[in-house]
Amino acid sequence: MNQLSGFFLLCLVFFVFITKTLSAIEPYRNSNFSFKNFVEKKQPLELFGRFELKSIKNEKNKVVGVKDEMLLILEGEFRMGADPKEGYQECKKYSGRCDPKWFYHEAPIHDVHLSSFYMDKYEVTQRKFQLVMGRNPSSFRGDDHPVENVKWLEANEYCKKIGKRLPTEAEWEKAAQVKNPTKYFWGNDMVSGRANFCDKNCLSDWKATEFDDGFVNTAPVGSYAPNAYGLYDMAGNVWEWVFDWYDPNYYKQNFHNDPKGPGPEEHYYRNGERVLRGGSWSSHPFNLRYSTRAGAYFNSRYINGYGFRCAVSGPSLD
Ligand SMILES: [Ca+2]
Ligand SMILES: [Ca+2]
């Protein structure tokens, strides 16, 4: 009998040892896993391949996020929005079906002051999304291609899991435009080779045959030159979910300091739409303007141009 008890005790110790060891070497399988905790515990970075992970600390030396291939956009004021005539005229260059009303929600142009923030250099790739979320919903597979078919809810969850957040619509536009009033981040005219949109390679009826960007659908992130901040694919490739609820009349309220979009308790919540920015591989050229706004139901994924990138509040904030 004593021998039997000893045997069971030995089995129990062995079972506990194996369980602990497995959970220690596979931390990313833990649902509570976060990059922030991961970095603070100084786990080996090799598990995350080529990604550079550094803690972001504020002046009180408190960790406020993880700098994972991110760039700092300094605090300051910028001009948000566009004259609706601009979008309409640009639309007419490439399409016979344009309506001036489509562009009313880009007005009025208004000054916005933003605190500093970090922005992901790249759209979130399928490799990263798979690593953090354990799945890949994309239609156009490739580790370095942007993840698409993403719901807003999933984008939000991904950013939170790694100690980041979705950028606000204002943060996204400031990071994208560099300097108002050019239409695109490189200037006033669409040109080949600056971004991925529905060019001559595209299979849609509305393809702009005078341009050649080299890709039928999504391109690996960072395939084109970045904007003046050093951010890639802020025009085209995949539309990018941002934090804000979509309200076509929101700019008329002229919020000046760190606007975060309409609240969910207001009338616009009925549609359940969140904002998408930047245009995609299947967009008309005019939708790659930095002022272009779009809204989609936050729980929808079935359009394979919805991706995202994450942000972190700047180090000057508590
Ligand atoms: Ca293309
Ligand atoms: Ca994009």
Residue 193: inside a domain: yes
Rounded CA gap, 15 and 216, in Å? 52
Cα 256 to middle of ligand 2, angstroms: 25
pLDDT digits (tens, 9 = 90+) for 98-123: 999 999 999 999 999 999 888 999 99
Residue 111: inside a domain: yes
Closest CA to 226 of 310, 130, 119: 119
Range of the domain at 181: 54-313
Instruction: Give the pLDDT score at 163.
Output: 79
Residue 86: inside a domain: yes
Cα 174 to middle of ligand 1, angstroms: 25
Q: How many domains does the chain have?
A: 1
The dihedral formed by the CA atoms of 214, 130, 288 and 97, expressed in degrees to the nearest 10: 90
pLDDT digits (tens, 9 = 90+) for 1-38: 467 677 777 766 665 554 443 333 222 233 333 444 43
Ligand nearest to the CA of 197: 1
Residue 36: in which H helix or E strand, if any? helix 35-40
Instruction: Give the pLDDT score at 73.
Output: 86
Closest CA to 173 of 65, 90, 275: 275
> Could you tell me the pTM of the whole model?
0.79
Residue 272: inside a domain: yes
Residue 292: inside a domain: yes
Instruction: Give the pLDDT score at 303.
Output: 76
Ligand nearest to the CA of 233: 2
Ligand nearest to the CA of 309: 2
Question: What are the residues whose beta carbons fall under 8 Å from the beta carbon of 253, sequence distance 6 or more?
Answer: none
In the predicted model, what is the mean pLDDT of residues 267-280?
82
pLDDT of 266 > 60? The answer is: yes
Question: What are the residues whose beta carbons fall under 8 Å from the beta carbon of 192, sequence distance 6 or more?
Answer: 199, 211, 212, 213
Cα 15 to middle of ligand 2, angstroms: 48
Ligand nearest to the CA of 240: 2
Cα 149 to middle of ligand 1, angstroms: 18
| Residue 252: CATH number of its domain | 3.90.1580.10
Q: Which of 31-35, 178-182, 276-280 has the highest mean pLDDT?
A: 276-280
Ligand nearest to the CA of 218: 1
Cα 283 to middle of ligand 1, angstroms: 9
The dihedral formed by the CA atoms of 296, 139, 202 and 240, expressed in degrees to the nearest 10: 40
Residue 14: inside a domain: no
Better pLDDT: 271 or 85 = 85
HSE at residue 39, side-chain half, CA atoms within 13 A, is 18
Residue 72's pLDDT band (boundaries 50, 70, 90)?
confident
Q: Which of 48-57, 71-80, 197-206 has the lowest mean pLDDT?
A: 48-57
CA distances from 149 to 154, 201, 257, 271, 285 (A): 10, 21, 32, 20, 21
Cα 210 to middle of ligand 2, angstroms: 21
Better pLDDT: 7 or 284 = 284
CA max distance for the chain:
90
Instruction: Give the pLDDT score at 114.
Output: 95
Instruction: Give the pLDDT score at 162.
Output: 83
Residue 312's pLDDT band (boundaries 50, 70, 90)?
confident
pLDDT of 52 > 70? The answer is: no
Q: Over 8-30, what HEC string results?
A: HHHHHHHHHHHHHHHHHHCHHHC
Residue 64: inside a domain: yes
Say whether the peptide bond before residue 108 is cis (omega within 30 degrees of 0). Answer: yes
Residue 237: inside a domain: yes
Rounded CA gap, 170 and 106, in Å? 12
Structure tokens at 282: 């299947």
